[in-house]
Amino acid sequence: MKTSIALTAVAALAAKASAACFSERLGYPCCSGNEVVYTDNDGKWGVENGNWCGIADAPTCWSLSQGYPCCSSSNAEVWYTDASGKWGVENGDWCGIPTGTTGGNVTPSNEQYTISGNPFKGVEFYINPYYVEEVDGAIAQMSDSSLIAKAEKMKTYSNAIWLDTIKNMQSWLESNLQGAQSQHQSSGKDILTVFVVYDLPGRDCHALASNGELLANDGDLARYKSEYIDVIEGHLKTYKSQPVVLIVEPDSLANLVTNLESTPACADSEKYYLEGHAYLIKKLGVLPHVAMYLDIGHAFWLGWDDNREKAGKVYAKVISSGAPGNVRGFTDNVSNYTPWEDPTLSRGPETEWNPCPDEKRYLEAISKDFKSAGIKSVYFVSDSSRNGKKVDRKHPGEWCNQTGVGVGARPQASPVSGMDYLDAFYWIKPLGESDGTSDESAARFDGYCGHETAMKPAPEAGQWFQKHFEQGIKNANPPL
């Protein structure tokens, strides 16, 4: 190496080489352990505290043989490269950057990604690190090697990240947008991240198990706009180089179709559901790298002819209220169990004369109804996270922690030949997270979670339900 290269002013710059492992320059901490969950061009990644962390390679100090120390940082800035390796500077002297690490800094991209057509097509799906950690916790409770192998496979599939409170949005939105951007910078592939926007005032007005933090009043609507949607907008504008899909407010608009007259809480929430949707569509629907899907319940909610006809009018009104924002389409079967195809069912007494007794027939019918209602962009994402096996429910409207659950079709773009309006099968509801508590004394207890076919005992909505997860991976269709 040529020692004649000037070192003046170099000592002042040595602080740039202070990260303890490669992930710190990408905005992620170093792992305290060494379990590898994912590997890319940056290095090996683990998951701790619901977030990605970098696993430092054991350094090989090749520069010692040449009379120079190893750099104390595994990601020291590269000042010179020769046949020996990469050199950094610390304390006014040369040091060798250990092999097996990557030097240099990553600069966030200012490029603008623009979605054209199906956002799930031609991209790599982002892996949710929080879910990986949940599954690791589940594996720690297992002893059956075959079950553990199935659970390990679950960590390799993408699922949605739920922004179900203001606090969770603040914790999870930006960190995962950063993760997707870093993954893109290391792999060169476009990385799609899917988020669920889920914090409307008066959320889930017809159920108790998943009521939200914001109430149906003007003050909480203002909070929804300023503390939730506006913050989401700001982060999405900052991280604009990668595609993002937003699943918008599950159950909300479907409740406006069927439950306004029967449920006072839904009547009280109508104004806030409509204003909230109009606001978020205007704000987020104009971003070129974002595709939004409004929730349409499932086959045994809006499948009947009169419900579909009414839904067309409601959804057309909502979409037009958000102009100039755009909506790509709609999502069905979110957090539900209705099979994609069920040839054993037809329109008759056992289905209460529903002409759409499975999700495929539902989408076939409602796509025509929505186009007839004047909706221009009619595409679908179908939640296949828990509908691989027909569950034991006595009535197809049962929705809480159903026994017999099985994980369904894997996340995939354009999965069904001849259905060009089906953008993807995707895991929106993470298998293993409870639908609601079975504790009748709990404030958020919903009667459906105490029904005969609901698995018990069950924890609160969103909390980990080990028994339900294990049954889901055992019954996976196709098998894991």
Cite the active site residues: 204, 251, 435
Residue 288's alpha-carbon distances to 115, 175, 183, 376, in angstroms, are 6, 21, 20, 17
Distance CA 443, CA 122 (A): 45
Token pair of 98, please?
């250990």
DSSP result, 256-300: HHHSTTT-HHHHHHHHHHHHHHHHHHHHHTT-TTEEEEEE---HH
Sign of the four-CA dihedral 405, 406, 410, 416? negative
Distance CA 298, CA 309 (A): 15
Token pair of 113, please?
């990604």
Distance CA 21, CA 31 (A): 9
Residue 359 CB neighbours (<10 A)? 28
DSSP result, 185-196: HHH-S-EEEEEE
The closest alpha carbon to 203, from 237, 149, 166, belongs to 166
Distant-in-sequence, close-in-space partners of 3: CB < 8 Å, separation ≥ 6 = 94
Distance CA 206, CA 212 (A): 12
Only one residue has tokens 């956002």, namely: 119
Distant-in-sequence, close-in-space partners of 414: CB < 8 Å, separation ≥ 6 = 118, 120, 121, 420, 422, 423, 424
The closest alpha carbon to 98, from 90, 109, 108, 106, belongs to 90
CA 83, distance to chain mean position in Å, is: 44
Query: What distance, in Å, lies between the first and last C-alpha atoms of the chain?
Result: 53
Kind of pairing between the strands at 422-426 and 412-413: antiparallel
**Which helix (H) or strand (E) segment is 181 a member of?**
helix 166-187
Residue 304's alpha-carbon distances to 165, 226, 345, 356, in angstroms, are 33, 37, 14, 7
Residue 109's alpha-carbon distances to 181, 237, 297, 334, 448, in angstroms, are 8, 12, 37, 33, 47
Distance CA 397, CA 350 (A): 12
